[in-house]
Amino acid sequence: MNVKALEIMLGTRRVGVLFQYPLSHDHTVNRFVADDDFASDPQQEILSLSYKAGDPQAQAAFWRAIGSAQFNGSLSSDAKRGWLLPAFFQNLLPEGPLRTRIAQMRGCDPEDQFELLAATGKDLPGDVHAMPAELSRDALARIITQNNDALEMSVVAAPMEDAISVSGVQAKLAVLKAGGRFVASTKLTDEHQVRHVIAKLPVANYPHLPELEDLSLRLARAAGVRVVDAELAPLELLAAEHHYDLGDVDGQTRFLAVFRYDRDADTATGRVHCEDFAQIMGVQPEAKYTLDYLTVAAVMQTVPSLGEAAVHELLRRILVSDLMGNPDMHLKNIGLRYPDAMTPELPPAYDIVAYSAYGFVKSGRALHLMPPAPGVHNAFKPLSPVVVRDFCGRLGMPEKPAWSTLRRCAEQAFDTWPALIAQADITELMKARILERMARFRPGK
């Protein structure tokens, strides 16, 4: 039986090994097994909140349960995608055009999940690294099958230097801002005095998308939401190959440079670990539109470093998305980060876009606000006092501070957004559509 294996590093520490081997002709095992040293460490770093147990004894027992669904991949609901990695690792993989491009560079199938992780293992989100593992036959037999089968290692190619993993289906690149230019990391020998950037490129079917996303971030900030730092820059400053069809553009066409909150850190690796709520909830990327915001809020409320303040910020982001017409705040667009590798905090909001500007957002959210009753259609409900009272009541948290937070957010939006929209470099029709969307939520409507 041939086995592929990747060492999983969190920062500079190895936390375990991810294996792949065929169990039968129609069943592939993708399994993560934690190292004994890591599993028994009472001060272990957090790889994922989904892997966090209540106390050191329970934590050690959790890691030993290698047959758990959390450590094993599943068969995709889409037959063409085959066997997926465990949810935490599957959610590290690139999506959309970037995934296709990396598969072409690697010479593998775009649905070869393990090979894609191996290809991008040096530049994954957060502070996770996946590197080819070198294990003895005895170690393979002991860890994987408890000495029941004869195993042989398969060679896993090293990660590609220019392969990065970024989620989302929009055309984007991971680059470095050095001086006034944006360059591929492989083009620099000295990364001092640079900033890590996600370059979000123009999209042919969505005119002025970088400008619209820049506006959307500024609208959210004006309403009290903490958002990522970003700037618009002309394509002539982007000195990195991308291989995307951007439509009719020139050097002055702009892209949006979003500065990464999981890089440029004062750590050994220059990274901050992070994860999204698809990883935290243990669901595959294809299920990112499942669950509900109440469940996300309940997780936040159980974490001392998050609590009510994080729930209030979540509510602000829901309201801002409602006002501007952003129906895409799904589980992968909400996350946590771990600046000290152990204490979760809510990072700045990212991927907020007023898609109402394109005229196809009527109502609805990426997720239900609260779980719908069985057999009952859960229609869109604005964040009214009654709805907020129900939401807070289910969480067991005071409703008045939450409602005050939302009222201030709405007031700031209605006070500041019209001027920001008027000044934006998008078409007049796009501006009118966003303003029309806002008007539906104005008090008294």
Report, as an integer, the average pLDDT of 220-224: 98
What ranges make up the beta strands (E) of 85-127?
Answer: none
Rounded Cα distance, 55 and 42, in Å: 8
Record the tokens describing residue 309, joined without a space. 């303040």
Q: What's residue 241's pLDDT?
A: 77
Rounded Cα distance, 290 and 94, in Å: 20
Spatial CA neighbour of 18 closest among 109, 90, 104, 105 = 90
Give per-residue pLDDT as tens, 285-340. Answer: 999 999 999 999 999 999 999 999 999 999 999 999 999 999 999 999 999 999 99
Give per-residue pLDDT as tens, 226-265. Answer: 999 999 999 999 988 777 777 788 889 999 999 999 998 8
CA-angle at 200, arms to 196 and 201, nearest 5°: 130
Has 328 been annotated as catalytic? yes
Residues whose CB falls within 8 Å of the CB of residue 423, separated by 6 or more in sequence, listed in order: none
- Pairing status of strand 128-132 against strand 152-153: unpaired
- Is the pTM higher than 0.75? The answer reads yes
Report, as an integer, the average pLDDT of 151-164: 62
Q: What percent of the chain has pLDDT over 70?
A: 89
3-state secondary structure of 80: helix
Q: Of these residues, 190, 328, 340, 425, which one is catalytic?
A: 328
Residue 151 has pLDDT above 90, yes or no: no
